Amino acid sequence: MTQVFNKDILQGKVAFVTGGGTGITGGVARAFAEHGAKLAIVSRKEENLAAMKAEVEAFGGECFTVAADVREYEAVEAAIAKTAEHYGKIDIVVNGAAGNFLCAADQLSPNGFGTVVDIDTKGTFNVCRAAFDELKKSKGQILNISATLHYLATPMQIHVSAAKAGVDAITRNLSVEWGRHGIRVNGIAPGPIEDTEGMKRLLMPELKDKLVRKIPVGRFGRIVDIENAALFLASDAASYVNGVTLVVDGGSWLLGTSLM
Ligand code: COA
């Protein structure tokens, strides 16, 4: 895909990205760095952080890494504090850390359900809450990575559906409560994105051809589609966009077809 946005649209901004080592959120983090932002990426896994840091530094970007579990508030607070100390501020927070697996509701343990809710929903709140003072100072913004699973119903995904419904509630609530502080809060709900580990793991190859025919625009999404949506929301072009979860799914969920 050709370059859509000017390379400097996030120049001087500091972006704190959870789950920023891999997958969709890793793409968003890298795209932010390619458009001028200084990155802080947070993941439980050191190896994911090191790979993204090397990739970003290879094209001349800056990438600060912090290993932390978003379920642990004190670890999140420390990650925010270290980032603010390192860069002097935080302008953009991206909540991308997530847990996912396929499991039927009657097989899922309460701890399995709670684990995903803890990572996605509580983790998103933890990061927003811990970043509030910094975002208030910078008149910054939050971008929550959500899903479309809960718009209708997605079998085998009750845990993620409940967790992402909670994330969307956080997006709406904080956009109202924190808008007055100059903090914009938005989300992105990716549809079926082809080039992710999640899709490779969740989608059986034999179903792929069948499913692609049900996507209104005739193709699966790509990580770059989410990167471009995130760049728009993070840029000044979206300065009056607040409380929105932008669906980037080629129109898939409107057909009511479970693609995940
Ligand atoms: N099917 C059913 N239950 C599962 C499961 C699966 N595939 N994977 C985990 N669980 C359950 C566990 O059985 C456990 O419940 P129990 O104590 O009642 O047995 C609970 O979830 C916690 O599992 P555990 O492995 O201890 O948690 P964790 O904190 O180490 O990791 C995940 C949980 C979800 C993050 C882990 O499964 C994972 O790493 N997934 C891949 C990462 C991912 O999907 N990222 C996001 C892409 S969208």
- Tens of pLDDT along 2-12? 679 999 999 99
Instruction: State in Å: Cα 122 to ligand 1 middle.
Output: 16
C-beta 114 within 6 A of ligand 1: no
Q: Which fold has domain 14-244?
A: Rossmann fold (3.40.50)
Model pTM score: 0.95
- Going by the DSSP 8-state scheme, the letter that residue 237 receives in this structure is G
- Residue 145 tokens, joined: 């990575």
- Model confidence at 223, pLDDT cuts 50, 70, 90, reads very high
* Ligand 1 centroid, distance to 63 Cα (angstroms): 28
Who contacts 43 (Cβ-Cβ below 8 Å, separation ≥6)?
18, 19, 20, 21, 22, 49, 65, 67, 68, 97
109 lines ligand 1 (CB under 6 A): yes
The reported pLDDT for the residue numbered 211 is: 83
**Where would I find the H helices in 4-102?**
23-34, 46-58, 73-87
> Pick the residue with more confidence: 146 or 205?
146
Mean pLDDT, residues 209-222 taken together: 91
Nearest ligand 1 atom, CA 201: 44
Domain spans of the chain? 14-244
Gap between the Cα atoms of 37 and 30, Å rounded? 9
